[in-house]
Structure 1
Amino acid sequence: MNIKELQAFNAVVQEGTVSGAARVMNLSQPAVSRLIMLLESELHISLFRREKQRLYLTEEGQAFNREARRILAGLSEIPRIAEEIRAHRLKRLRMVTMPRAALSVVAPVVARFTRENPDVKLSLDIRSHRDIESWINGREYDLGFGNVPITHWAAESTPIGRTVLEVLMPTDHPFARKEVVTLQDLATVPLVQQFPGMLLRRQTDALFDAHDVRIEHEVLAGSSQMAQYLVANGAGVTIIDRLSVLAMDDRLITTRPLSPTRWVAFGVIRHRDDDPDPMVLRLTEMLRERVAECAVDGSIIPLMGKGEV
């Protein structure tokens, strides 16, 4: 695979036709078609389907497009990065967070870090747990935050907090009058769940299977954040860890303990071969401090250490 193939793919996506892509790339139509064919052959997937003289991305093409755009965007940054290196003023930090605690933990920390370090260019991305293998292997980020431990061979993870799974509901929901909500209770109401295969869904499915509980009415959401907002708007209730709901408006939602109790851990993730970096260590300490600020007896427990990753 070469960059020209990616550029041809991106041009076809943008223009919708091979002729349009050929025009913006200053190539012939057969040359653009050949580049797309080579790319599909190398990837062993079909990227486009043709409808009424226009090309549309297949499902596989849509998934590839998300990564291709990221790669091409990074390439466009190379001249500016080189200039910063020559001027000895390059200070960059790349961070990724899994969605669950992005708003409650990571956003406040990143805001504080950028205020204290205005000369550091910090980028923050949100990627699902399912993408973790690719971003670890590719060493796309200097630091990750999410559920730990990580079993990937190249990852090194350090827990900085434990939090319990609870039931999130609107403040006026009948369950709000209960002290504890059981798995059996959840079988009687609409339950907002993530798509099968997602991390939190796997965790909750394991609970239901272990206690032989079957959910009759579920609403599916593509992220934990969307699940929380669906609950706030009355779509049902959901299971979520206490740490992740702290960014929500408590006038709209409330939580109750789930029985049986299930704890999950959050922490920092790095590639095990990365060298220590003072900025990464400082950001890690800030994450620890934020989790400590959020501590709730019996629900959120900080795990304090030396701040080493």
Structure 2
Amino acid sequence: MAKLSYRQVEAFRAVMIAGTTTGAAGLLYISQPAVSRLLNDFEVAVKVKLFDRHHKRLAPTPEALLLFEEVERSFVGIDRLATMAEELRDFQRGSLKVAAMPAIALGFLPRVMQQFSQHHQGVNLTLQVRSSQQVADWIATQHFDVGIGAINVADPALAVEVLGEAALVCALPANHPLVEKKTIVPEDLRDQPFISLGPEQSVRYKVDEVFEQARVSRQLVFDTQLSHVACSFVDAGSGVALIDPITALHFSSANLVFRPFEPWVSFSYHLLYPAHRARSRATEEFSQLLKQELALLVKRADGLLRLKS
């Protein structure tokens, strides 16, 4: 059998629907002779008589009716593909899987994801909350589309971008004498019971370096990988801590007070992507929204903390 062309099949389908080559030409926006030529070529290719000619009308043979059923099934599949493509283009279909550290996920991220969902209601959203290291592992193995963590890892399986930066703040028990100060400096925390972020957090080494340069010793009583848990230790009266301002903004307790800390110690939030997989449009737009909203939140957190001082 000669090779069929899509245009021949399309002409056959149009004739079956319209009943005449003139009507088919109107459906396909081509001339009537062009339709007749395509139809003849189609009959030659399939080697089956498809129409009985009665004046200007074409009467389909039983073989043509059977073939038309198969063509319709194929065209329904093509229509479905076109519809899906349109839905993907308009964000009416798709998925976005996000993995994030608790500092971002517990208060900030659900609001951003809700905002994204309102404009892309067909996109199915997933959020998993894990430590920064676990987030990096999941993104490296391509289990998630985008991750948000506090570590900048050198892994060829990861593409890393800075999402935003903010200054660490000091978490104090509400009855602590230092709450009277507007800004906390290393000397204020000499010999204080201190809750540290764990060694897997790069910011831990920045904090240690600040105190070493100031020649200030602390009582290191607990290590934890999460700022939220560090706040809980402070809330329980275990000591003081330096934590990221977004956690401070969302940690609600009457027993806790937050103060700016100097010198500036930067806490970096990073976007993580699978390095060897193309990013979807949903991933790109969500990441852009994250950057915008985080910049606003960091500004708000800084203003609130200084206002409360």
Q: CA deviation at 1:106?
A: 1.7
Is the 8 Å Cα contact of residues 191 and 218 (structure 1) preserved in structure 2?
Answer: yes
Counterpart CA distance in 1 for 2:182 and 2:222 is 24
Is the 8 Å Cα contact of residues 150 and 156 (structure 1) preserved in structure 2?
Answer: no
Q: Name which of 170, 173, 178 aligns with 2:176.
A: 173
Match of 1:243 in 2: 246
**Structure 1 290/253 Cα, relative in aligned 2: closer, same or farther at 3 Å?**
farther
Match of 2:278 in 1: 275
* Cα RMSD (Å): 3.0
Write the mapping of 1:67-146 to structure 2, written as runs, cut at 5 A.
Answer: 91-146=94-149
Q: Name which of 149, 152, 155 aligns with 1:152.
A: 155
Q: CA deviation at 1:96?
A: 0.9
TM-score, normalised to structure 2, is 0.60
Counterpart CA distance in 1 for 2:298 and 2:226 is 24
Is the 8 Å Cα contact of residues 104 and 245 (structure 1) preserved in structure 2?
Answer: no
Q: CA deviation at 1:299?
A: 4.1
**Structure 1 140/213 Cα, relative in aligned 2: closer, same or farther at 3 Å?**
farther
Q: CA deviation at 1:97?
A: 0.9
Counterpart CA distance in 1 for 2:289 and 2:236 is 33
Write the mapping of 1:185-196 to structure 2, written as runs, cut at 5 A.
Answer: 185-196=188-199
1:219 aligns to 2:217 (yes or no)? no
Q: Letter of the 1:294 partner, please give it.
A: L
SS in 2 for 1:213: coil
Q: CA deviation at 1:209?
A: 3.5
Task: Describe the superposition over 1:16-69 as per-residue Cα deviations: whole angstroms up to 9, x where unpaired.
Answer: xxxxxxxxxxxxxxxxxxxxxxxxxxxxxxxxxxxxxxxxxxxxxxxxxxxxxx
**Structure 1 203/123 Cα, relative in aligned 2: closer, same or farther at 3 Å?**
farther
Task: Give unmatched runs, 5+ long, in structure 2.
Answer: 1-80, 88-92, 304-309
TM-score, normalised to structure 1, is 0.60
Q: Name which of 199, 207, 210 aligns with 2:210.
A: 207
Is the 8 Å Cα contact of residues 99 and 127 (structure 1) preserved in structure 2?
Answer: yes
Q: Name which of 288, 291, 297 aligns with 1:285.
A: 288
Task: Describe the superposition over 1:107-142 as per-residue Cα deviations: whole angstroms up to 9, x where unpaired.
Answer: 321233344444332221223233355324311210
**Structure 1 129/206 Cα, relative in aligned 2: closer, same or farther at 3 Å?**
farther
Q: CA deviation at 1:201?
A: 3.0
**Structure 1 257/137 Cα, relative in aligned 2: closer, same or farther at 3 Å?**
same
Counterpart CA distance in 2 for 1:208 and 1:102 is 30
Task: Describe the superposition over 1:165-185 as per-residue Cα deviations: whole angstroms up to 9, x where unpaired.
Answer: 111123332111112212232
Structure having the higher Rg: 2
Counterpart CA distance in 1 for 2:136 and 2:271 is 15
Task: Give unmatched runs, 5+ long, in structure 1.
Answer: 1-84, 301-309
Q: Letter of the 1:293 partner, please give it.
A: L
Match of 1:20 in 2: none
Write the mapping of 1:30-45 to structure 2, written as runs, cut at 5 A.
Answer: none
Counterpart CA distance in 2 for 1:268 and 1:104 is 17
**Structure 1 140/207 Cα, relative in aligned 2: closer, same or farther at 3 Å?**
farther
Counterpart CA distance in 1 for 2:95 and 2:187 is 49
